[in-house]
Structure 1
Amino acid sequence: MRTTTLSLRSLAILGAGFTLLPQAALSQEVAEEGDVVQNADVDDTTPVIVVTAQGRAQNLADVPVAISAVTAETLENSGTSDIRELNQVAPSLLVSSTGNEANGSARIRGIGTVGDNPGLESSVAVFVDGVYRSRSGNALSELGPLDRIEILRGPQGTLGGRNSSAGMISIYTAEPEFQFGGYADFTYGNYDALRIEGGVNAPLSDTVAARIDGVWFQRDGFYNDVTNGTDINNRDRYLVRAQALFEPNEDISFRLVGDYSKKDEACCAATFVQPEFAPLARVSGPTFDGFTYPAAGTPALTDFGPGGNPIAAILVGMGNDPRALTQSTFDRDIYPTAGRSYEGETEDYGISGELNWNLGAATLTSITAYREYSNNQASDTDYTGVDILYRAPGPNAGAREFETFTQEFRLNGSAFNDRLDWLVGAYYANEKLEVRDNLRFGTQYGTFVNCRLAIAVAGILGAPDPTQSNCFSPAAFGAIQSGAVFGAATPAVVAGINNLATLNDLGGTGDVYNQSSENYAIFTHNIFHITDTLDLTLGLRYTNETKEFDATFSNDNDVCPTNRAILGPIVGLSPFFAGILSLSCQGNSTSELDGVSLADTRDEDEFTGTAILSWKPVDDLLVYGSYSRGYKAGGFNLDRSALSNPLTLDVTALDPANLQFDEETVDAYEIGLKYSTRQWGFSLAGFRQEFSNFQLNTFNGSVFLVQNINGCSANLGGADRDTDATTGACAPDDVAPGVISQGFEFEATLSPTRNVNMTMGITYADTTYEDNLVGSDQGDPLDPALRLLPGDNLSNAPELVATSSFTFTPDIGDSGMKGLFFINARMTSDYNTGSDLLYGKEQDGFVVVNGRIGLTNIADRFAIEGWVQNMFDTQYTQVAFNTPFIAPQQTYSAFLAEPRTYGVTVRAEF
């Protein structure tokens, strides 16, 4: 179990803000959906936030579920332009991105989709104006003007369109209004950031209103590509959204929304993890691989001798700039291969219509939407100056394309003299996903991986020689050829090594994976008012999910089948022989798959739902207890490396079932209370969530693994923590949940005067793997690459997170002008960023502070504000990972979080 450490400085920064959450609002009056009701009374000014978390408009304080509601004002002050910035205002939420922003992941209470595989659905579903976004990474773009964001914590198994096992983020954009107006924002910041946003709203008639909004944003990158003379992780994006609102009478409202966004950016660079970030004790570990990482800057770092890093020495010997291996982890100079690119392109567009029709006895809501999303991203996939692995720019560069149609109907009303608030509904989704990939071995791959083999026998034959194509010195290779080392296997070994040395610029030429998903559900959600103060909420949902999969492979790696024919008969005799063949066929990259097609299908049926008992002993206090069951669909690992063991690949017997993973389910229990008045309020929730078939995607340095993680009620005696893939099985009757998330959340707001608002939030989440783990619900052994998981915290799951904010908006003179002082902070305790929890991927606790100061309402229409994000330039990583093909020597890379940014924004309204 990880020890949580907090610095006095961290606590002081958080305490200065005293706040818990973004303006949780609180009133007993019922308002319309999305309304923020402002009381003009000087001492009674906290706004009332109305949410739709239960499918109908309710005041936030009256909803017996854990939910954070963030107002437009808070979003603007905190600089929220995509869902990543929500980290600052919601302590239970963590949003991060890795090798491609399309892979961005959201976690709530430590639970989220782990890994970059688009075949895995999001544990935290994202909706924009009631429309499901196929993956949470799709929302890592400009959002434009917003009305509010609702963050629901815990499984969403009844309402909310798509099922989700950890939570939901519902984003509501600003709607058209029946009055003419417009706005324009201009922002300039460091890294030559330039952002322009504007929009116009106009009534077209007494019944039709329309608005159009646009955002354009450019900024230099945070990484300096020294090799190629460019910058990486830049911004070049825009969004256009047009809307029309039709209200022919007071009973009918129809909103039509169309939007288009595009990104043309270079993403995502990584740096080597160095000892100042990953100290010796954590990198080497007491029992893991035993590699000792020397201090940064010492000559031993690139030596073959004792204490040196032989892989680092190989990289330098093959042309890698040594500065990449000795500079600080957070020095953003990078040294990739010359000519390799991180360029990518993303398009996201769609249209939706929402109808709300008051039928008298009931209200009908219909949301219809069609969306398309596409992304491709080139990469120097080994992140080094040696050309080992890459994706060339173009439409097949790690591309994914989604076409999604969704339809939701809800009918709700009341009965029995308002003793029952009932709701029934249906949901349908049809999603087509295409993944294309052109991952290839680089022009120096053959020499580099032969160096790995040479390192393995260096004690016998001497140091590797990266100046030789096969990385063996003439003397060493002469010894091999003499037969003195490998005896009768010598001819096969010599041929295999020489063939492997020619494996350069070969591999995938255009693999294509298709997955079609059809999902339909029927649901009901009912609130029984047993007494005037006691409510019982019962919800039930039936979901059917069908997924069809097919894949066709294109590959020109002819070295693999050549070496398979040579080494196949002896591969089991020595790990060295197996190493030659494995490196020749790494990730099942082989011309044997060229033109091969596979197909498979899976079908799921699940019942999910919720039961909540809530009681209001007094008007301002709500107490509740709940049980809910959530579900996330299973699917297919869209990666050929999982098809079969590359050592024993038989194209005629490939089984696509090897790519399947099962649905994830969760049973969740929660108790809580909410106290709310106009001037202050708080909420407290305790929770326990038990996950079965937890879907884990991890990269072990060679291939991507997808496993369903479960626990075993019997003691496995440490067999799940060894390197043997055959030990650690569990009897099916003893399989139990494998992941537990439990803890508490506290949120509070305080508005002592009309010009001061404070918030504060604390989440303690002990999100851990069970002590005895297996890799399926049938009790199959856990993959050895995951042997550090049992009993430890999940990746990117800090135990303690706190947020706070302070807003002061004093009146300036009698003209209506106001000042603005805003500051917020997020404190995070220690956590491991790697899905396999390897040593060296741990992130120490840190604090991020944002601020904004300015003058608003100048002449009733202008504002000027200065702002800073990450005020103290806190250096931390989003994810550390095994550097491809280098990780056996405990060499890691990391995707860094953004550094300090600052600038000035000028606003105008008319």
Structure 2
Amino acid sequence: MKVTHRLLLSSCVAALGIAAPAAAQSTDAAAEDRSASSNAIVVTATRREQTLQEVPVAVSVVSGELLDNSGVSGVDQISQAVPSVTFTQGNNENNSSLNIRGIGTNVFSSGVEPSVSIVFDDVVMARAGQGFQDFIDVQRIEVLRGPQSTLFGKNASAGVVSVTTKDATDYLSGEFDAMYAEGNEYQVRGSVSGPITEGVAARVSGFYKQFDGMSDNLFNGDTYNGYEAWGVRGKVQIEATDNFSLEFIGDYRNSVSTPTFVLAKVLNPTVAEVNKPLEIDLTNTDVNVNTPPRSDSEQWGAQMNAEYLFGNDFVLNSTTAVRSYDFQNNIDVDATPALAPPADRSYFLWDLNKGTNNLTQYSQELRLESPDLGGFDFLIGAFAYHVDLDSTFQRRWVQRNAAGNVVPRSGQFSSNNKTTNLAAFVSGNVYLGDLNLFGGLRVLHEKLEWSVLRDPADVVVTGDIALPGAAGQAADFSGSASDTAVTGNIGARYDFGAGNVYASYARGYKGAGVNTAFASLEGTEPVEPETVDAFEVGAKVSTWDDVFSVNLALFYTQYQNYQAQAQRPNDITFELANAGEISTKGVEIETVFQPSKLTTFRLGATYMDAKIDEFPGGPCYSGQTEAQGCVNDAQDLSGADLPNAPEFRLTGFARQTVPFGDSSPVDGFVQGNFSYQSSVQFALDQNPLARLDDYWLVNASIGIESKDDNYSISLFVRNLFDQNLPQALSYSTAGGGRLTAQTWRNQERYFGLQGRFSF
């Protein structure tokens, strides 16, 4: 039965936890014995169930157990466990992004998709904000590095983060854990699973978490950069017949948070003076603002998975899904407590910067998977996808004119973006003894539609006047663009007993995007689709019992028409552009060493060189002179660093169980994990103020657990060495020029207690 089959796979995955790059299916008996070993990790990176060491794709796997042990509780923290991933935190979840191998998409426009696709239980999230979910009941996470457009198709030009949640059990079981930490942070999670009737099993899970925050507001004593969130997920799995099974999944999540940037450097002395006694530097975590920040989101999803076995083990899979995502936020952009604009006109009040997103998406995928047909197999499929996204925005400034009079300006706009994607794909393997040839092809057609409405008379407050520039001009227009593209991959893998080597080429694609932002005007043209050529060679070596494994990947990837966002000097608006050609190349290595059941070591390292190869008309940074390369507000960015693409990243995990003797019902354990990254540049325009130094993050815990693994309790510390650096930096000309930073929970050292119980 399918439920039992999945339980066996889940047990195999949970046995090991994290692993590393990967590679395709083998037909010899030795490979089958190997995949049946107790430490084998099953993945679905090629949309088939295979062991990690077989799949010819660079993929990192993190188990739910390792996520818990490492303190990784959401997608935004996955970089702490996977060295090829970085996270760029914005002032809300929609302005945040993941990078893989230095490539990601961080833009404000709702008409642009992310380069890194986040997938939950085979359903792609249309926008990054949907994907930054909390981890509840996670079986494993697969991070596929490099373009995955052939099989995952949608917005996967840089890679995929695929989250698989736990299946229902055919016996009564449950898992519960709770955590409390300094700062009045706590979290409770739980799940119950079991049979309903013959052939029907269900699993229900949920979580609640809250954190007061870490940014004190000097203006009113409130605390920001905190959150309160809760969510539930339910699964019902039905074995209708021996050949046919159904799975229904529903989830709901609600989040209320107070994310806001903090000041790291101020160039305007008036702004610095009004913010006293705030200590403004890179270690600052506090604010002094008169308008509370707010960021609320609500989302739900429903899906049905069907599986039918026929013929000689042919498998037909169907995934039907609908998702809804509603979001709203506001932030005090001027970052001051001022209630009136200053007499010297050195800055204006900007307390209202509010937006909403209402997104609905539908998707349908069919896949037909063949068995081994005598030296070859195949997988064919079709994919249909539609997204409808409504956005609104309000902005209000209060400033003084030359005569010293207070002038309030405001405006509103709304936009709609629709994307429809239809695709067909095929992949296959040919087995020639120890040599495996593999490849695939995807043909897609995509249509992008947009509309913008802005009435200058539609001010936020009666008596205001329209905003200056494009933001205050009338706009009532619509447009569309369509494209047909072909992506694919081809490669070979060779087994040599203790391991294998592979080489591959892949063509990636991300559809056109349009800048439906606040200052959009008629005539707005979409940016071109992003295309990718990726070359990779890898090797995987492991001992027969998988006590030790090492996985190596060398990669070179070049992007054409990379979609990026930047700001011209003295312009508060952001432009969306194709940043010419960019490339990323480097080497990745991940190892796992388990000398005994009591000891585990894991280490991952990535060296990469992610650069802009060609962008002659790139934006200058504020204050950049002609001698520094800025001519007519443009500079040649060829050879410049890509944003948030560190040259070197390192992650590691170690755990040692300490036996207390046969007579004791419990054993002790000590464990720790760390991550390191070299310095990074956060600005596409290469503003020297937006460069962040390298830093280490070290976490540790000590505790006891029952010998049957049914309960445990531990004391933990995050950021053991108190590395007080922000998560991201951004320079803005607003307020006369300032550098802002995004704080994060691990920016300061804190202690906590965690307990777990299962049955």
- In the alignment, the residues of structure 2 paired with residue 140 and residue 820 of structure 1 have an alpha-carbon distance, to the nearest angstrom, of 31
Q: Which residue of 1 aligns with 2:684?
A: 835
Contact 2:148 2:156 in 1 (8 A): yes
* Distance across 1 between alignment mates of 2:160 and 2:552: 19
Looking at structure 2, the residues matched to 551 and 252 of structure 1 have their Cα atoms a distance apart, in angstroms, of 47
Matched residue, 1:524? 426
Query: In the aligned structure 1, how far is the partner of 2:54 from the partner of 2:103?
Result: 26
In the alignment, residue 49 of structure 2 is paired with which amino acid? A
Quote how far apart the aligned CAs of 1:30 are. 9.0
- By how many angstroms is 1:502 displaced? 4.1
Q: 1:431 aligns with which of 387, 393, 396?
A: 387
- How much has 1:424 moved relative to structure 2? 0.5
Structure-2 change in CA distance of 1:709 and 1:269 (3 Å):
closer
Residue 909 of structure 1 deviates from its aligned partner by 1.8
* 1:112 aligned counterpart, secondary structure: coil
Shift of 1:808: 1.4
Amino acid at match of 1:684: L
152-161 or 244-253: bigger deviation: 244-253
Find the residue that maps to 2:197 and give its secondary structure. coil
**In structure 2, what residue type is equivalent to 1:363?**
V
Structure 2 vs 1, CA of residues 804 and 860 (structure 1 numbering), >3 Å: closer, same or farther? closer
Please, which of 570, 595, 603 is the counterpart of residue 760 of structure 1?
Answer: 603
Instruction: Describe the superposition over 1:346-393 as per-residue Cα deviations: whole angstroms up to 9, x where unpaired.
Output: 001111111122113311111111000111011102223346354649
Q: 2:300 aligns with which of 349, 355, 362?
A: 349
Match of 2:410 among 482, 507, 512: 507
Taking the aligned partners of 2:660 and 2:456, their CA distance within structure 1 comes to 69
Q: Note if 1:408 corresponds to 2:365.
A: yes
Is the counterpart of residue 23 in structure 1 residue 19 in structure 2?
A: yes
Who wins on radius of gyration, i.e. which is larger? 1
Higher normalized strand content (fraction of residues): 2
Query: Who is 2:316 aligned against?
Result: 364
Please, which of 504, 509, 513 is the counterpart of residue 631 of structure 1?
Answer: 509
Cα deviation 1:564-592 (Å, max 9, x = unaligned):
9xxxxxxxxxxxxxxxxxxx9545222x4
Matched, 1:906 2:749: no
Unpaired runs of 5+ in structure 2?
1-15, 28-32, 340-347, 620-628
Aligned: 1:793 with 2:641: yes
Q: List per-residue Cα deviations over 1:493-526 (Å, max 9, x = no partner).
A: xxxx44x95432x212x31110111111100011
Matched, 1:661 2:534: no
Q: Which residue of structure 1 aligns with residue 491 of structure 2?
A: 612
Matches within 5 A, 1:674-685: 674-677=540-543, 678-685=546-553
User: In 1, Cα distance between the equivalents of 2:722 and 2:469?
Assistant: 39
Which stretch of structure 1 is more off in the superposition, 177-186 or 696-705?
696-705
User: 1:151-230 residue pairs with structure 2 within 5 A?
Assistant: 151-230=143-222
**Equivalent position amino acid for 1:165 in 2:** S
Structure 2 counterpart of 1:640, one-letter code: F
Query: So what's the TM-score if we normalise by structure 1?
Result: 0.74
Q: Determine helix, strand or coil for the equivalent of 1:640.
A: coil
Q: How far is the alpha carbon of 1:315 from its aligned partner?
A: 2.5
Q: How far has the Cα of 1:329 moved from its partner? A: 2.6
Letter in 2 for 1:23: A
Report the Cα distance in structure 1 between the residues aligned to 2:22 and 2:60, rounded to whole angstroms. Answer: 12
1:589 aligns with 2:471: yes
With over 3 angstroms needed to count, the CA separation of the structure-2 counterparts of 1:540 and 1:372, relative to structure 1, is: same
For residues 289-330 of structure 1, give each alpha carbon's deviation from its aligned partner in whole angstroms, at most 9, with x where no partner exists: xxxxxxxxxxxxxxxxxxxx5x22x3356xx22333x53332
Which residue identity lines up with residue 366 of structure 1 in the other structure?
Answer: S
Matches within 5 A, 1:553-572: 553-556=454-457
Structure 2 match to 1:255: 247
The change in CA–CA distance for 1:432 and 1:783 in structure 2 (over 3 A counts) is farther
Do structure 1's residue 548 and structure 2's residue 426 form an aligned pair? Answer: no
Q: 1:526 to 1:28 in 2, by over 3 A?
A: closer
Equivalent position to 2:355, from 398, 406, 413: 398
State the one-letter code of the partner of 1:683: N
1:231 aligned to 223, 231, 244, which one? 223
Structure 1 residue 866: deviation in Å? 1.5
Of structures 1 and 2, the one with the larger relative CO (CA 8 A, separation 6+) is 1
Residue 84 of structure 1 aligns to a residue in which SS? helix
CA distance in 2, matches of 1:139, 1:884: 31
SS at structure 2 position matched to 1:873: coil
Partner of 2:119: 127
2:555 maps to 687
The superposition leaves residues 66-119 of structure 1 with CA deviations (integer Å, 9 ceiling, x where unpaired) of: 000111221111122111221111000012321112222000000000233322
Instruction: Work out whether 1:696 is the aligned partner of 2:564.
Output: yes
- Give the whole-Å Cα distance in 2 for the aligned partners of 1:75 and 1:699: 37
| Number of residue-to-residue matches in the alignment | 712
* Aligned 8 A contact 2:361 2:386 in 1: yes
Amino acid at match of 1:623: V
The TM-score normalised by the length of structure 2 is: 0.88
Distance 1:328 1:316, change over 3 A: closer
CA distance in 1, matches of 2:23, 2:702: 30
Residue number in structure 2 paired with 1:603: 482
Q: CA RMSD in A?
A: 2.9
Deviation, 1:230, is: 0.8
Q: 2:439 — aligned with what?
A: 538
Cα offset for 1:642? 4.5
Please name the residue that 2:539 is paired with. Answer: 673
Cα drift, residue 269 of structure 1: 2.9
Q: How far has the Cα of 1:440 moved from its partner?
A: 1.4
Which consecutive unaligned segments of at least 5 residues does structure 1 have? Answer: 1-19, 32-36, 275-308, 448-469, 471-496, 565-583, 644-653, 711-737
Greater fraction of residues in helix: 1
1:897 corresponds, among 744, 747, 750, to 744
Q: Does 2:73 align with 1:71?
A: no
Q: Is the aligned partner of 1:708 residue 2:608?
A: no
Cα distance in 1, alignment partners of residues 434 and 257 from structure 2 = 54
2-structure distance, mates of 1:871, 1:420: 52
* CA distance, structure 1, for counterparts of residue 724 and residue 308 of structure 2: 51
- Pair 176,784 (structure 1): closer, same or farther in 2 beyond 3 Å: farther
Task: Give the corresponding residue for 1:384.
Answer: 336
State the one-letter code of the partner of 1:503. V
Find the aligned partners of 1:748 and 1:784 in 2 and give their Cα distance.
Answer: 50
- Aligned residue number for residue 286 of structure 1: none
